[in-house]
Amino acid sequence: MKFNRIYGLFLRHFFLITRSFPRVLDLIYWPSIQITLWGFISNFFASHSTYYNNAVGVILTCAILYDFLFRTSIGFNMLFLEEIWSRNFTNLFISPIKISEIIISLVFTALVRALIGLIPAILLTSPLFGISLLDLGIYLFFLFLSLYIFGITLGIFVSSGLLRFGPSFENIAWSTMFLLAPFGCIYYPVEILPEFFQKIAYSLPLVYIFEEARNILINQSVDFQNIIKAFYLNIIYLIIAISLFYYSFEKARKKGTLINIGE
């Protein structure tokens, strides 16, 4: 594994982002709108709901956590799609970069993209709504890390589809997060879901992450079981996603997708 190649691919996207003010604005704009909207909704529920009235920032905190997941996942896919849109795909895959180096580079770049968008939005929450994510304490780090891993995992899953099926898979790239959102129990407890849906939800790390965020904020206690289960599931899904990416690459080499995808 060579740092130069990982850095080279990072540099390609770094140049792209920093060259264009509209791109930076686009990264910041949607998280800020999203969080402002959920901030007001959060305030409303806090004053009209017995469930939320002990913790004003529960909905908003969960909205921020979900947005981080969404930005990480979409960010990873966007980096991949960018190569297709710019017809640079072939150039990338005829360079001596390894699959593992592509994944590492995009994982890191996706984090930078997500943070560019999210940090200004998080900073908004304190003066606008009097809420700080830091209320989650040290556990915030574990929740963010868990969401980051799952976001990347989803990004790798979708990119595997793009590799295997080409640009026609693009629409799936945009819709994955919306498909999983109901099962993630972002804004409501898992018990709200019908029993069969609960089984699906418990097979995803999201439900443990958001249940724990609510637990910390509402009950002021920490259930390490939730954090550990989320990590455990994350590792399993990440291994599956990376294996699928390698498999899709080999399939694409057999089917000829790598030649046609960028043209």
Interface contacts to other proteins, rule CB under 8 A: 2, 4-5, 7-9, 11-12, 15-16, 19-20, 82, 86-98, 250, 253-256, 258-259, 262-263
CB atoms within 10 A of CB 135: 15
Between 163 and 209, name the residue whose CB sits nearer to other proteins.
163
Residue whose token pair is 């966007």: 78
- How far is residue 175's CA from residue 27's CA, in Å, rounded to a whole number? 18
The least distance separating other proteins from the CB of residue 113, rounded to whole angstroms, comes to: 15
The least distance separating other proteins from the CB of residue 3, rounded to whole angstroms, comes to: 9
The least distance separating other proteins from the CB of residue 85, rounded to whole angstroms, comes to: 9
The least distance separating other proteins from the CB of residue 7, rounded to whole angstroms, comes to: 6
Contact 180, 204 (CB under 8 A): yes
CB atoms within 10 A of CB 107: 20
Between 76 and 89, name the residue whose CB sits nearer to other proteins.
89
Which tokens go with 227? 């954090």
- How far is residue 185's CA from residue 191's CA, in Å, rounded to a whole number? 9
Between 53 and 95, name the residue whose CB sits nearer to other proteins.
95
Between 199 and 253, name the residue whose CB sits nearer to other proteins.
253
The least distance separating other proteins from the CB of residue 88, rounded to whole angstroms, comes to: 5
Closest CA to 124 of 5, 31, 45, 19: 31
Between 96 and 127, name the residue whose CB sits nearer to other proteins.
96
The least distance separating other proteins from the CB of residue 70, rounded to whole angstroms, comes to: 24
Between 54 and 91, name the residue whose CB sits nearer to other proteins.
91
The least distance separating other proteins from the CB of residue 15, rounded to whole angstroms, comes to: 5
- How far is residue 92's CA from residue 75's CA, in Å, rounded to a whole number? 18
- How far is residue 233's CA from residue 231's CA, in Å, rounded to a whole number? 5
- How far is residue 3's CA from residue 12's CA, in Å, rounded to a whole number? 14
Q: What angle do CA 119, 72, 214 make, to 5 degrees?
A: 70
DSSP H stretches of helix in the chain: 3-19, 21-48, 58-85, 89-93, 99-129, 139-165, 170-184, 195-202, 205-214, 224-255, 257-260
Between 194 and 256, name the residue whose CB sits nearer to other proteins.
256
